[in-house]
A = this chain, B = another copy of it.
Amino acid sequence: MSGPKHECGVFGIWAPGADVARITFFALYALQHRGQESAGIATTDGERIVKHRGLGLVTQAFTEDDLRPLEGGWAIGHNRYSTRGATTLRNAQPFILQTLHGPLGLAHNGNVTNARTLRQLLLERGVGLSTNSDSELLLKALAVPVRDERAGEVGESVWLPRLQRLLRVAEGAYSLAVMNRDGIFGLRDPHGFRPLCIGELPYGDGQIGYVLASESCAFAPIGARYVRDVEPGEIVRLGPRGIESWRSPTVPRPAMCVFEYVYFARPDSDLEGRSVHLLRQRFGERLAQESPVAADIVVGVPDSALPAGIGFARGAGLEYIEGLIKNRYIGRTFIQPDARLRRDKVRLKYTPLRANLAGKRVVLVDDSIVRGSTAGPLVQLLRDGGAAEVHVRISSPPVRHPCFMGVDLGTHDEIIAHQKSVEEIRQHIGADSLAYLSLPGMLDVVRESDAARGYCSACFDGDYPISLEDGTTKLQFEDIHGA
């Protein structure tokens, strides 16, 4: 898969006395691959809450002038890739509110599948909504008191029962960073569809702060250390008492998105304890064992398929070499190519290296094929560059089903493997041969160190871990008001 489509990145930090907005900026910079539509940061000192949001990359969305007013001791940040709602600042996160118990901020990665039901409940209660985003729903649901709420009870946050209620009523995928006067709360939905992990940040004069991020690749750049992942259905609080945790008594089968390993996550992240880069290399090795081919060289599609390419080369005993150069300055452009250039859109991004390709039998390794619009032109590009044969190897199984948990794979109609067989796809892309990694093969690699672990592989096998029908669950007014 070669498109720039990712879902959101969230971040939170508790480090009173540090420049938390600036640290959040650099963390979002490291999480940029998870969303390029907009970026935002909100900070608080427990009383006042301030935020800034901007369109585009985090480097485009923030200037020093924007950072200056972002004062406080804790903060949350967000990179947005739109899965719902139009591309405007209006839907940009974090969302913030003033509540009875002080400021409240929220950043969200995922997709709430019963949003329509939750929306109706809030509207009936008389809570107006400004956007059509899930994040506003979750935020405003948190602002509603639970029954018999005792604010400021000794030793406990008023926000905990509200977050516990959220776990009960919200369905689908949501990894949240929530900010209020009691600190930074992290929360993963009961299936743990999207990742979220915790780090420790030494700062100042021997102080220890805490951070929360979608991926661990955000930690090293800001000088933080990975501690652990948030568990599915777990609520953590990062605050003056360090890391505190509440777990749901009953959680369903964990179902983290396996596509994070295939394509989304940055290779230098560890997800649930496993190195993404290493898994990708092993996907490549395994693929070489499953579907070998007589060839001279192995070329990975930069950048996401390079580890799989190297792994394939190692597994096949073939030479790994660069065969495609990617324009490093690919960014969001609003300029449309003219008709002539549009036919060859992939050429704006990649160039074949004739010197390495001429006369060679090439294995082209990519991480996935979703809509099938890129693979064909890439095969042609290699042939134009002199390749004698082009054998395509995909380091994941055929994507056959849409995702309803926050990843934009398109609809059934747009997904090529839902429409065509592997042989038909091979013809479509003009490859000499085409093979995918098998689903058992992929899961073997993923489960190497934890055989019992559950994953969501619905985009490959259609086995969705949750019901997708919004409204079947009969939420009562009491559910959201507490009981």
Binding site for B on A (CB under 8 A): 18-19, 22-23, 25-26, 29-30, 32-33, 36, 57, 59-60, 62-64, 67, 96-100, 104, 120, 123-130, 139-140, 143-145, 203, 217, 220-223, 266-268, 275, 277-278, 281, 303, 306-307, 310, 314, 319-322, 325, 327-329, 331-338, 340-341, 344, 347-348, 351-356
> Hey, which chain B residues are within 8 Å of A310, CB to CB?
320-322
Q: Which residue of B lies closest to A222 (CB)?
A: B341
A-B contact pairs, 20 of them (CB 8 A): A23-B341, A26-B337, A29-B329, A29-B348, A32-B329, A33-B328, A36-B329, A57-B331, A63-B334, A64-B335, A98-B123, A98-B128, A125-B145, A126-B143, A223-B341, A223-B347, A275-B355, A277-B353, A281-B356, A314-B319
Prevailing SS type, chain A contact patch = mixed
Q: Is the CB of B327 within 8 A of A30?
A: yes
Smallest beta-carbon distance A472→chain B, Å: 21
Provide the residues of chain B in CB contact with A221, threshold 8 Å.
327, 341, 347-348, 351
**A36 proximity list for chain B (CB < 8 A):** 329
Q: Are B59 and A332 in contact (CB under 8 A)?
A: yes
Contacting residues, chain B, for A351 (C-beta < 8 A)? 217, 220-221, 268
Please state if A220 and B347 are interface contacts (CB–CB under 8 Å): yes
Q: Which B-chain residue is minimally distant from A314 (CB atoms)?
A: B319
Q: A28 CA to B284 CA in the complex, in Å?
A: 35
Cβ 8 A contact of A143, one of B26, B57, B99, B128: B128
Query: Which residue from B98, B100, B320 sits with its C-beta under 8 Å from A126?
Result: B100
Give Cα A57 to B338, complex, Å. Answer: 20
Cα–Cα distance between A124 and B101 once the two chains are bound (Å)? 9
Bound Cα distance from A314 to B313, whole angstroms: 14
Select which of B26, B277, B331 is within 8 A of A356 by beta carbon: B277
Check if A22 sits within 8 Å of B126, measured CB to CB: no
Chain B residues positioned under 8 Å from A275 (CB to CB)? 353-355
- On whether A306 and B322 interact (CB within 8 A), knowing A127-B126, A223-B341, the answer reads yes
C-alpha gap A415/B24 in the complex (Å): 34
A266 touches B341 (CB 8 A): no
